[in-house]
A and B are shown apart, each in its own frame.
Chain A
Amino acid sequence: MTDVKSRIDQLRGEFDFSFTEPARSHDVEHVELLAIRAGGRPYAIRLSQTSGLHPDRPVTALPGPLPSLLGLAGFAGTAVPIYDLAALLGHPVSERPRWLVLATGRPPLGLAFHELDGHVRVDAAAIVGEQDGGQGPVRGMVALPGGTRPIIDVPAARAAVHTLTGHDHGTEHGADEETRP
């Protein structure tokens, strides 16, 4: 019983204390991240650069020239191409990834990865940028409990796919205010 009581007291205290803090803006000071694993390695993705997270979505294999193109998945009557993030990052393709995120922007694009470690909110200051934008889809690093993770920039991953497929109709980003931290 005392456990419960102390827990309630603690929650109440936190609740009351929250009013004493100045109002803060999540967007400016905090960044929402998905901690993921692709090809056995830890990465992070900015939540604001994605428009949906889906586990175990059926993907119809599409035979073709690109090994990183896993196939097509159906979203609201539209077939969306799904690319293997591990392959885009240059890791050897092992088993089929379980998770996928839809990338913001057009044309529709899904990026698949193997494991989801969690959803975290970090102080913007915890993100370390890179001077020249870095190489490939990786832009910057973030220190998280358990180690520092490279951040996969979704627009950069999209640009890589556009290059692979020779798609030259321009890259239209969605929310890209965070592409250059």
Chain B
Amino acid sequence: MGEVRDPLRYFRVEARELVDQISAGVLDLDQQHGPDLVARLLRFAHTLKGAARVVRQQEIAEHAHAFEELLVPHRTEPGPLAADEMRELLRLNDEMAQRVDALTPAPEPAATPSEPVPLVPEELEKPPERAATADLDDLLDAIGETNARIAPLRESGGTLARLNRDVDRLADGLRSGRLAAADAACRTAVQRVAGDLGALGRRFTDAVDQIERELDEVRGRAEGLRLVPAGTIFTALHRAVRDAADAEGKRVRFTGTGGDVRMGPHLLNQVSGAFLHVVRNAVVHGIEPEPHRLAAGKPAEGTITVEVVRRGRWASFRCVDDGRGFDLAALRRAAQSRGLLPPGVAEPEPQELIDLVLGGGISTSPAVTDVAGRGIGMDVVRDVAVQLHGDVHLRSTPGRGATVELVVPLTLLSMNGLIVEAGGMVATVPLDAVRRCVRLTAEETAGALATGRLAHEGRVVPFLALSRTLALGPAVPEDGGAGVAVVLTADDDTVAVGVDRLSGTTTLVARPLPDLAPAAAVIGSVAIDVEGNPRLVLDPHGLIAECRRDQATTGAAPEKPAPPLPVLVVDDSLTTRMLERSILESAGYEVDLAASAEEGLEKAAARAYGLFLTDIDMPGKDGFAFVTETRADPATGHVPAILVSSRASAEDRQRGAAAGAAAYVVKGEFNQEELLAHIRRLILR
């Protein structure tokens, strides 16, 4: 019925996806010509044309057709497209995008915001980006795995019915006198029922445990869908750079990094709107005309990089250009003419002048152009920073380039937390920073407290007693009270935090601390528990910083050995991959995953690994083949491989050894400690 009422329902989704791919592809093509890219664009345009014809969207089909016509000759030509051809491609791309946008029914007009937002471009009004298909696929995979775990429960239901019948028969026999309790037959029957019940109980427990794990995975992935990868704003920024460069007659290359960092779509939209100005400014004010660049010994093509980094509860967006930097002389003149620098006052520092730009109204551009000028861009960035409770930093090196950095708090951060108790206080540690928890003997605790160090996995890590750090006022508890060491990693640093006990894990939504509540740096945010009471969330970065401060007062930091290289896990079962990953990551290893031996071989060739962990039975090539092939390759032959399989026979172990596996772990006897011991012994650094 839905299709009849709204024939465009599926087309809108497909067309939006295709247009997004075309938009990104055209910009890639602009930077780097390649026949593969042309072929891909042709495929997208062709698919769009076909789909548009089916739903009678003639205009979209015609534009897609024109787009194809333009590209077809370049399928075989190696050279880049002429500038006017490129412009035409972009124009057609825009036409298609506009028409696809127009198909979306207008949403209810939103209430006017109470604070007028000056000069905010319409980009801010764009709806949140849709979740990527790959994320949905992952979620569906996880749901599928959970479903698969229900089957054993159903089978167990059958077994239970059979047992029920057996017990009934036995009871009948006893009642009718056919069987006597003392009979051997009766005893055997009872023993068999008891044995079957025991086995059934174990199966139930296993199945429930697995379902629980899978559901946790499902929840995590579903939550992830609410957040959007930062990379979704790169296409719009790239296009803005391209258009500004075209208008200015400059050549500028755009790169985006950190596109995988995920955050709320609303925040991302606001940042995107502000950064459109930032990148345009960088093209117009920063990047010099080609002859100037060449004269200064720079490449003719300018570079603008947008970097996204998440630091704990903060996201940093940085636009770096390799242009001329801020024109300090022009800034000084502009500031003086606006009365911001009264004459006769001591010469301001360069950074002071640069910071004046943030005040707004100052532009170093000699003329107001279509794309930049009047210092409006910086006003927008500053406004967005204020709205999001963030900060803007400007840096400039004359002749080398400028950096605009916007740091904003991620207001809502859904996370799994480890609940710890220390000195009578309950706090939560973000689970993704926790590498391991180690129970300490009284002796070890005393030693760690005295030296501020703890031996962990063959290295010495700094140790911090949480009760001392959290102690209110000057009253430090006599006894540090550490019974468990929680090993945390953040900023590539590792620290062991001593707590009294662990009291479970929890899912929580962390919010920034409220206004009027200054707190110690180790406290990152606050969450409200089920009873409505605030619970403190510790900040791993703050803990590391606190530890460094502690170390600075008690002695030099311990020496750090080289970190181990990442581990590649090859297994066709999603559950096993995730289980092994969580075990390895908890132990502090970086993990890559491959779902088949073929994918594993591809990944092994692309990156230096410290260890391979592979299943044996997989569709396509099996684990033995994976081990044999990696042994035969001089690039990967030295990387130890461990086989993990449900096959337990001596013959299989021999085959594994013959193939060159360094260890063999049986899944049924799967023992986390045994596996980690092998890995610690074998992994390359």
Q: Does B504 contact A (CB under 8 A)?
A: no
In the complex, the answer to whether B473 meets A108 with C-beta atoms within 8 Å is: no
Q: Which of B464-510 contact A (CB under 8 A)?
A: 469-473
In the complex, the answer to whether A109 meets B516 with C-beta atoms within 8 Å is: yes
In the complex, the answer to whether A107 meets B520 with C-beta atoms within 8 Å is: no
Nearest CB of B to A51, in Å: 16
Nearest CB of A to B537, in Å: 11
Once bound together, how far apart are the Cα atoms of A71 and B523, in whole Å? 12
In the complex, the answer to whether A64 meets B514 with C-beta atoms within 8 Å is: no
User: CB-CB contacts of A56-95 with B at 8 A, as 1s and 0s?
Assistant: 0010111111110101111011111100000000000000
Binds A, one of B269-277, B349-357, B527-535: B527-535
In the complex, the answer to whether B471 meets A63 with C-beta atoms within 8 Å is: yes
Q: Which of B509-566 contact A (CB under 8 A)?
A: 511, 513-520, 522-523, 526, 528, 531-536
Once bound together, how far apart are the Cα atoms of A81 and B518, in whole Å? 9
- A10 neighbours in B (Cβ, 8 Å): none
User: CB-CB contacts of A110-150 with B at 8 A, as 1s and 0s?
Assistant: 00000000000000000000000000000000000000000
Which among A60, A65, A67, A79 has the greatest number of chain B C-beta atoms within 10 A? Answer: A79
In the complex, the answer to whether B535 meets A62 with C-beta atoms within 8 Å is: no
Nearest CB of A to B428, in Å: 11
Q: Which residue of B lies closest to A62 (CB)?
A: B519
Q: Does A162 contact B (CB under 8 A)?
A: yes
- A156 neighbours in B (Cβ, 8 Å): none
Q: Which of A36-53 contact B (CB under 8 A)?
A: none
Q: What range describes how many residues of A lie at the interface?
A: 20 to 34
In the complex, the answer to whether B516 meets A77 with C-beta atoms within 8 Å is: no
Interface residues of B: mostly helix, strand, loop or mixed? Answer: loop
Once bound together, how far apart are the Cα atoms of A23 and B93, in whole Å? 75
**A79-B514 contact in complex given A60-B535, A60-B536, A74-B533, C-beta closer than 8 Å:** yes
- B533 neighbours in A (Cβ, 8 Å): 58, 60, 73-74
Q: Does B340 contact A (CB under 8 A)?
A: no
In the complex, the answer to whether A62 meets B536 with C-beta atoms within 8 Å is: yes
Q: Which of B421-477 contact A (CB under 8 A)?
A: 425, 469-473
**A74-B532 contact in complex given A61-B472, A62-B523, A63-B471, C-beta closer than 8 Å:** yes
- B472 neighbours in A (Cβ, 8 Å): 61, 63
Given B470, B528, B531, B532, which contacts A63 in the complex, CB threshold below 8 Å?
B470
In the complex, the answer to whether B519 meets A63 with C-beta atoms within 8 Å is: yes
User: When A and B form their complex, which 8 residue pairs have the shortest distance between CB atoms, in order from nearest?
Assistant: A81-B517, A107-B515, A79-B534, A72-B534, A64-B519, A74-B532, A60-B534, A63-B520
| Interface of A toward B, CB cutoff 8 Å | 58, 60-67, 69, 71-74, 76-81, 107-109, 161-162, 165-167, 169
- Between-chain CB contacts (< 8 Å), 11 pairs: A58-B533, A61-B472, A62-B536, A63-B522, A74-B533, A78-B514, A78-B528, A79-B514, A81-B515, A107-B516, A108-B514
